[in-house]
Amino acid sequence: MAKALAPLPLEKHPQLLVGTETADDAGVYKIAEDTALVQTIDLITPIVDDAFLFGQIAAANSLSDIYAMGGRPLTAMNIICFPRLSLDISVLTEILQGGLEKVHEAGAVLMGGHTVEDAELKYGLAVTGTVHPQKIITNKGAQLGDVLILTKPLGTGIISTAQKAGLAETEALEAAARQMVALNNQAAQAMGECQAHACTDITGFGLLGHAVEMARGCGFSLRLFYEQIPFLPKVKNYAASGLVPGGAYCNEGHFGSEIFWGEKIPSLEKIILFDPQTSGGLLIALPKEQSQKLLELLLKKGVRDATLIGEVIPREKYSIIVA
């Protein structure tokens, strides 16, 4: 997307507060002194076998970018690519039921949608939310000395690859599903009660790709504490068996030159940090003094896997140091 957009002029408008310039999670447009619209769209191919569960996951994934900007979702529209000839329409009904449940859980309203016929099933939402113009949290505001908190464990891409190979264990599948259906609403609320400087959700670029964008945005480097990074069950085993999605290698190709690896990181495990996530957690940069408060709030709100995984350090040659 960034490559395709590059030849086009950058969209500029006095009310456009966040556009395409920083690869941020959603666009933000000011409509009043105290209100800005946050808008995003995302759709994905099935990542689980169950249609209702897929609908829930796709919707949670689409809603996430609103939360990553510090916003609150108001309205959603279904966007569907459906293979009418090969799939029964009842499958689509189940998907939409799952999506609707998540829209309601988010406190938003479904107001329509659009379907096109396509050989491959895809589903997601276009979501509109609001945020106070002074409370927008972009991916570029991290400050020196901030710590980084990640709110969900990693590995959904690897577990889905293991599932497609028929090798995923129930424990791993259930843990991955639980994380993917979980909205980032509680995490965003907790973040809103602290003075977060930057936030992004971890999706297709994997932890390291999104971390590189956060580092580029603030001009500092990020140090990640490898031992602290939370993983879903069995992910390391699957990665060691080569059950790694192609997207992880794409991400490594794109962002690998910006990563410095400490000696202790097992080379087999490096690829996990590039694993593309579906409906991943928030990566939040905030002052060190507030990290305990945020972690406690997260725990209180049921975000149990949130972990402090790194810090913002003076700019080094590499954007990210994994040590």
Question: In this chain, which stretch among 6-14, 93-101, 200-208, 226-234 interacts with Co ion, using CB under 5 A?
Answer: 200-208
Pick the binder of Co ion from 146, 201, 213, 311 (CB under 5 A).
Answer: 201
**Binding test (CB under 5 A) with Co ion, winner from 114, 178, 304, 315:** 114
Number of residues that bind Co ion (CB under 5 A): 5
Instruction: Name which of 59, 210, 203 is nearest 122 in CA terms.
Output: 59
Cα dist from 65 to 27, 57, 107, 211, 254, whole Å? 9, 14, 15, 16, 22
Stretch of 23-31, 49-57, 172-180, 242-250 lying at the interface with Co ion (CB under 5 A): 23-31
Residue 213, interface with Co ion (CB under 5 A)?
Answer: no
Q: Judge whether 229 and 150 are in contact, CB under 8 Å.
A: yes
Query: Site mask, Co ion, residues 251-280, x = CB under 5 A?
Result: ------------------------------
Exposure string over 282-312, b if 16+ CB within 10 A, otherwise e: bbbbbbeebbeebbebbeebebebbbbbbbb
Smallest gap from Cβ 92 to Co ion, in A, equals 16
Considering beta carbons, is residue 25 or 252 the nearer one to Co ion? Answer: 25
The closest alpha carbon to 264, from 204, 224, 308, 221, belongs to 224
Nearer to Co ion, 127 or 147 (CB): 127
142 and 284 in contact (C-beta within 8 Å)?
A: no
The footprint of Co ion on residues 46-65 (CB under 5 A) is 65
DSSP single-letter state for residue 154: B
Residues that bind Co ion (CB under 5 A): 25, 42, 65, 114, 201
